[in-house]
Amino acid sequence: MKKGYDMSAEEESILQPLLKTGKGFYVFVGVLLILTGWFLYCWYTQLSQGLIVTGMRSVYNAPNYMTYGVAEGSPWGIYVTTFIFWIGISHAGIAISASVRLMNLKKYKVVARMAEVLTLVALPMAALSIVFDVGRPDRLFNLLEFGRFQAPMLWDLSAITTYFMGTIIYLYLSLRGDIDQLALRIPRREWFYKRLAMHYEGTETEKERHKQTLWWLAVAIVPIMVTVHSVVSFVFGLMIARAGWYSTIFAIYFVVGAIVSGVAAVYSLAWIFRWLYKWQSLITDEVLKGITWALRNVLIIYLYLWIAEELTMNYMGSSAELRVSDFLFSGRYAPIFWPMVIIGFAVPAIILLKPVFIKKIFNPKLTFIASIILNVALWVARFTIVVPSLLNPPLYPTGIYIPTITEVSIITGTFWMAVLLYVAFVKLFPIIELDVVEA
Amino acid sequence: MTKLTMIIDLSRCIGCWTCAVGCKAENDEPIGIWWNRILTNGGNEMDTPSGTYPDISMSYMPINCQHCDNAPCVKVCPVGALRKREDGIVFLDWDRCIGCRYCLIACPYGIPAFNWRPPVQSPDNSQFRIGNPLVPVRPVGVAEKCTFCFQRVDAGNLTPACIEVCPAGARFFGDLDDPTSEVSQILQTKPTMRLREELGTEPSVYYVPPRNATRPQEVSQD
């Protein structure tokens, strides 16, 4: 392992996930693999039997006694909800990393790569959620062959693909120097790193060139990032047919919501790594405080937009919009809606706002809990955007949507796969940029 | 130019569902899918009178695809499987549909239905097909909806199945661009309305309002 190369203590600390592998790791990965296997089985069930295994149903299925058990329901369900969720998670990654680069925030460089990898892992999961959702995944290439650019879904496809490619290039360029270094430090995987570094020399000109390209990529990626979530919102916000969706605020609302969930996810990750690898000296309280500051501010903007949206639906409301609003406030979805508001929004908001008023109380662990709650709450928030509007179609009676176990297994499967991919990355590459030490 | 138009006379409709059943037989619709539905003004259940006793009235609202001129489903279909034909039919190409169900979401009338499972017909049609042989078989995982019986229209027969079977003579079908056609005559002589006209979808299905009743309301909430 040491083979003629001496690492500094800090470098060794950063590289410890690559150097040491404990028993706990194998157990963790084993459990994840079993869960992923279960997910694959459920997906196979869905592919072979059709989407009947989910809880989704058409808008109208005739009076119940004529339908042989097929009830009215929501044509989209937790697959689409999870699609929005993963897009949201993917948001912060490059956002944080690019702003670190553009605004030269050296302090936050330690979390930049964690965030980038998060984007890289979340985007394929978002794409997969859509693959689960469509009835004919075998015909997905029709999107390329016959794609119509008037359709919001195609905007999604193009925006996400662009974002994904941008992220890969961005991550690779920022990683290339480190990979080259790794070849020296971990000789047993030298062949792998050498090939991956693609003849990186490490000269000053080369470094400068990488830095410049990355800066320009960051400039390009920030607008793409805003676009991605805006077009996701257009899938809903442009639909005049559905009460509760047709709204100008939607693009902003979705983008801000995405930034909240993304920043919260980066905080959770930073805290987990700090706790797992004892990186208190690298990811300092100051860094966590900075992320909390950002999270707090975007959360306030998000809640403001959320209140504006809910109020608009409820206050005067066309009868159709009021129907959706009542469905949430006092109807069948109230048991989901109010816990989301109180536990999901109010409690984290209080936790995050507390240090503003009472000085010097910053509890990283409590903020970690708040960040996890926020992401769960935001998933529920997307659910309360997508499903209630679909369950209350104008002209028709209110429907029922209960996700099945298969559906839930498939959706949680994306989560296990995301964790697996992330773990694989952590085991192969340094999750903190190596030159953080030099700076 | 032809502009195919349907008129449903609600003052004649008796809510018997014959049009729906005729449509189902003609087009081989699987269990759970109805291209034609007859809602009752007054409640979610079938044959619910509207109003409070003794001031009650009974009227129906048959809904099939409205074949909008400005069709939201055509706009949002990502692969162009939904197309507006020259003669006004909004046609769904079952060989191209990827099953994203965006048309189910975008349609203000809740028309498209989805094949959630491999289609099962009743009576079982695995031995011989009951429906019109010109109608393509829909596979699992695609949406489907009323086609204005394009197979009949293409063969020069301007009588979709629902028109043919309606026992009350409440349905009319024809070319609106032909001033002598039945539909043009009715549109000129009777008051008509279209569903959710305020959305600007320009439906091709017109309704003659029922007698002794206000204009068809959205189904009320219990």
Chain B positions in Cβ-Cβ contact with residue A154 (cut-off 8 Å): 78
Is the pLDDT confidence value at B211 over 80? no
Helix runs in A4-108, H state only: 9-14, 16-19, 23-49, 78-102
The torsion defined by the Cα of A53, A59, A64 and A66, in degrees rounded to 10, comes to: -90
Residue in B79, B114, B141 closest to A75 by CB: B114
Per DSSP, what are the bridge partners of residue B4?
A: B175
* Phi-psi domain of A182 (left: phi exceeds 0; alpha: psi -120 through 50; beta: other): alpha
Does residue A183 or residue A300 have the better pLDDT? A300
Quick one: pLDDT band at residue A97, thresholds 50, 70, 90?
Answer: confident
Q: What is the pLDDT of residues B43-56, one digit of tens each?
A: 777 788 888 887 88
Q: Tell me the mean pLDDT in the region A119-130.
A: 94
Per the CB < 8 A criterion, the answer to whether A90 and A262 are in contact is: yes
Residue in B98, B99, B107 closest to A241 by CB: B107
pLDDT in the model for residue B108 = 92
pLDDT in the model for residue A96 = 80
Chain B positions in Cβ-Cβ contact with residue A318 (cut-off 8 Å): none
pLDDT in the model for residue B56 = 83
pLDDT in the model for residue A101 = 82
Closest chain A residue to B217, measured at CA: A395
Is the pLDDT confidence value at A156 over 80? yes
Is the pLDDT confidence value at A149 over 50? yes
Q: Tell me the mean pLDDT in the region A50-55.
A: 90
Percent of chain B whose pLDDT exceeds 90: 63
Is the pLDDT confidence value at B215 over 60? no
- Is the CB of A135 less than 8 angstroms away from the CB of B140? yes
Q: CATH code for B4-208?
A: 3.30.70.20
pLDDT in the model for residue A168 = 92
Closest chain A residue to B119, measured at CA: A50
Whole-number Å distance between alpha carbons of B22 and A431:
65
Q: Tell me the mean pLDDT in the region B16-32.
A: 90
Quick one: pLDDT band at residue A436, thresholds 50, 70, 90?
Answer: low
Whole-number Å distance between alpha carbons of B54 and B51:
8
Q: Tell me the mean pLDDT in the region B160-174.
A: 94
Percent of chain A whose pLDDT exceeds 90: 54
Peptide bond before residue B78 is cis, with ω within 30 degrees of 0: no
ipTM of the complex: 0.88
| Residue B196 Cα to chain centre, angstroms | 15
Q: For residue A227, what are the contacts with CB-CB under 8 A and spacing of at least 6?
A: A159, A163
| Residue B126 Cα to chain centre, angstroms | 27
Picking from A428, A430, A415, A424, the residue whose alpha carbon sits closest to that of residue A29 is A424
Is the pLDDT confidence value at A59 over 60? yes
Q: For residue A127, what are the contacts with CB-CB under 8 A and spacing of at least 6?
A: A160, A164
Chain B positions in Cβ-Cβ contact with residue A147 (cut-off 8 Å): 78-79
Per the CB < 8 A criterion, the answer to whether B48 and B40 are in contact is: yes
Does residue A101 or residue B205 have the better pLDDT? B205
Q: For residue B58, what are the contacts with CB-CB under 8 A and spacing of at least 6?
A: B15, B40, B42, B47, B49, B50
Is the pLDDT confidence value at A114 over 70? yes
| Residue A436 Cα to chain centre, angstroms | 26
CA distance B171 to chain A (A): 20
CA distance A35 to chain B (A): 26
Query: How buried is residue A153: exposed, middle or buried, by Cβ count under 10 Å (0-12/13-18/19+)?
Result: buried
Is the pLDDT confidence value at A290 over 70? yes
Residue in B33, B75, B104 closest to A75 by CB: B104
Is the pLDDT confidence value at A439 over 50? no
Is the pLDDT confidence value at A411 over 90? yes
Whole-number Å distance between alpha carbons of A10 and A434:
9
Tokens of A43: 């997906």
How many A/B residue pairs have CB atoms within 8 Å?
A: 163
Q: Tell me the mean pLDDT in the region A165-191.
A: 88
Quick one: pLDDT band at residue A437, thresholds 50, 70, 90?
Answer: low
Quick one: pLDDT band at residue A319, thresholds 50, 70, 90?
Answer: confident
CA distances to A181, A187, B8 from B192, rounded to whole Å, are 78, 82, 9
Picking from B102, B101, B72, the residue whose alpha carbon sits closest to that of residue B201 is B72
Closest chain A residue to B44, measured at CA: A397
Stated pTM of the model: 0.92
Whole-number Å distance between alpha carbons of A213 and A208:
9
Residue in A57, A133, A395 closest to B100 by CB: A133
> What is the Cβ-side half-sphere exposure of residue A22, based on CA atoms within 13 angstroms?
6
Whole-number Å distance between alpha carbons of B47 and A368:
56
What does the mean pLDDT of chain B come to?
88
CA distance B107 to chain A (A): 6
Is the pLDDT confidence value at B216 over 90? no
Quick one: pLDDT band at residue B222, thresholds 50, 70, 90?
Answer: very low
Q: What is the DSSP annotation of A266-281?
A: HHHHHHHHHHHTT-TT
Is the pLDDT confidence value at A1 over 50? no
Whole-number Å distance between alpha carbons of A326 and A336:
13
Q: What is the pLDDT of residues B82-132, one digit of tens each?
A: 999 999 999 999 999 999 999 999 999 989 999 998 888 877 877 777 888
pLDDT in the model for residue A5 = 66
Does residue A233 or residue B124 have the better pLDDT? A233
Whole-number Å distance between alpha carbons of A254 and A232:
8
Q: What is the pLDDT of residues B55-82, one digit of tens each?
A: 888 889 999 999 999 999 999 999 999 9
Q: What is the pLDDT of residues A328-364, one digit of tens each?
A: 999 999 999 999 999 999 999 999 988 878 776 788 9
Picking from A435, A417, A436, A425, the residue whose alpha carbon sits closest to that of residue A128 is A417
Is the pLDDT confidence value at A317 over 80? no
Q: What are phi and psi of B98, to 5 degrees?
A: -100, 0
Is the pLDDT confidence value at A278 over 70? yes
Quick one: pLDDT band at residue A47, thresholds 50, 70, 90?
Answer: very high
Identity of the amino acid at A354:
K
Per the CB < 8 A criterion, the answer to whether B123 and B130 are in contact is: yes
- Superfamily per CATH, domain A9-138+153-398+406-438: Formate dehydrogenase/DMSO reductase domain (1.20.1630.10)
- Is the CB of A241 less than 8 angstroms away from the CB of B199? yes
Whole-number Å distance between alpha carbons of B8 and A378:
46
Helix runs in chain B, H state only: 18-27, 72-76, 102-106, 150-154, 161-165, 182-189
